[in-house]
Amino acid sequence: MAEKLSLMNNVNMSEYSSMKTGGIAERCFFPQDEKQLVDALKTLEREKIKYYVLGNMSNVLVPDGKLDFVPVITTKMTKTEKKEADGKLHVYACAGVKLTKLAYEICDMGYLGAEFAYGIPGTVGGAVFMNAGAYGSEIKEIADFVDFYDIEKDEIQRIDNENCDFGYRTSAFQSRKGVILGASFTFEKGNRDEILTRAKETMQKRIDKQPLEYPSCGSAFKRPEGMFAGKLIEDSGLKGKSVGGAMVSEKHAGFIINKGNATTNDVKELIELVQKKVKEKFGVKLEPEIRIL
Ligand SMILES: Cc1cc2nc3c(=O)[nH]c(=O)nc-3n(C[C@H](O)[C@H](O)[C@H](O)COP(=O)(O)OP(=O)(O)OC[C@H]3O[C@@H](n4cnc5c(N)ncnc54)[C@H](O)[C@@H]3O)c2cc1C
């Protein structure tokens, strides 16, 4: 029964993607645990069917129209284990656990280090893959190890933090064939009230500065060294620039938002237009942070 529940037909990806764009997936897997995820991947590999493993789809642009791949979406893999010992909290979270929810639980238990993650709308798998970060902290600082299924070797590997090659919005997993099954994190005991205050202040900064009332993928571009993408875009006169239903946010020029009827092609065209204009004006090539499937 559970096996059957993990497969859905004719899924409209715009209902799942945080940009609220994307076409129809004829088949879509929603594995509920590591075994179902690995089995789904093995089947797809064996049948030579193209696929992408996805989390909360808060950093991906899904193509329009009928998809030529099978999405394997981890958001039903929500098992979490927490253990307190010697003033520390050890957390193991499966790939599909929502980062914001987990971060809040850790803060609420009075442990330090997860405040930055409160408000990042991804899953643990997506956050590890991207080395997600905010306000000066990132996944690299809190991860102990990552469990990874290596498709080529057909084995589950436990990869220590230092071998994850975490960098600015990158990790070793971006160039490896396989899937993140879960990750382990450690947090130190702190002052609960201060921690919760800090987490809530972080969330308030997001509400004040980011266009959260519109669908988006967060920052559309990576920060070029020593600069801010949003400032370069704003200084290129691109605030409010639109292609179809996609628009450079008036509130935060680093965000591309969906005003209501955008397609993925609109967003892609706008990304290219922004890149061209910023390159012309400042000679800087902006690299998308959004992953275009
Ligand atoms: C409003 C808003 C604010 C945001 N703020 C931030 C921020 O402050 N900091 C930040 O870093 N990001 C931010 N983001 C971007 C995004 O939330 C993060 O990149 C997040 O970590 C992506 O997680 P996800 O589960 O949504 O991944 P997805 O978007 O589903 O996938 C992202 C990539 O990870 C891969 N992936 C996902 N799960 C797995 C897995 N289990 N195994 C292998 N590969 C996998 C996918 O194939 C894809 O290439 C923001 C986005 C939005 C919409």
The mean predicted confidence, pLDDT, of the chain is 96
Residue 17: CB within 6 Å of ligand 1? no
CATH of domain 2-73: 3.30.43.10
Do the two domains 80-205 and 211-292 of this chain adopt the same fold?
no
CATH code: domain 80-205 is 3.30.465.10
The pair of three-digit structure tokens given for residue 204, joined into one six-digit string: 């308030």
pLDDT at position 236, please?
A: 97
Domain ranges of the chain: 2-73, 80-205, 211-292
CA of 86 to the centre of ligand 1 (A): 32
Q: What is the pLDDT of residue 163?
A: 98
| Ligand 1 mean position, distance from CA 198 (Å) | 23
* Known catalytic residue at 289: yes
The pLDDT of 2-13, averaged and rounded, is 78
Q: Which of 18, 16, 9, 20 is nearest to 66 (CA)?
A: 9
Ligand 1 centroid – CA 85 distance (Å): 30
Nearest ligand 1 atom, CA 18: 53
Ligand 1 neighbour 134 (Cβ under 6 A)? yes
Residue owning the nearest CA to atom 8 of ligand 1: 134
Cα 240-242-246 angle, rounded to 5 deg? 110
Tell me, in angstroms, the distance from the centre of ligand 1 to residue 122's CA. 5
Catalytic-residue membership of 169: yes
Catalytic residue among 219, 223, 236, 249: 219
- Topology of 211-292 in CATH? 3.90.78
| Set 169, 171, 223, 249: catalytic member | 169
pTM: 0.96
Please tell me the total number of residues recorded for the chain in this structure.
293
193-238: pLDDT as tens digits: 999 999 999 999 999 999 999 999 999 999 999 999 999 999 999 9
Minimum CA distance residue for ligand 1 atom 52? 218
Closest of 42, 14, 87 to residue 179, by C-alpha: 42
Whether residue 258 contacts residue 267, with contact meaning beta carbons closer than 8 Å, is answered with yes
Tell me which residue has its CA closest to atom 48 in ligand 1.
54
Which tens digits make up the pLDDT trace of 84-119? 998 899 999 999 999 999 999 999 999 999 999 999
Name the closest-CA residue to atom 2, ligand 1. 218
Rg (CA), the chain: 19
Using the 8-state DSSP alphabet, how is residue 237 labeled? T
DSSP string of 4-73, one letter each residue: HHTEEEEEEGGGTSTT----EEEEEE--SSHHHHHHHHHHHHHTT--EEEESS-SSEEPPSSB-SSEEEE
C-beta of 202 in contact with ligand 1 (< 6 A): no
Ligand 1 nearest-atom number relative to CA 124? 25
C-alpha 59/C-alpha 61 separation (Å) is 7
Q: What is the pLDDT of residue 6?
A: 84
Q: Which helix (H) or strand (E) holds 197?
A: helix 192-209
Would you list the DSSP string of 139-185? Answer: GGGTEEEEEEEETTTTEEEEEEGGGS--BTTB-GGGGSSEEEEEEEE
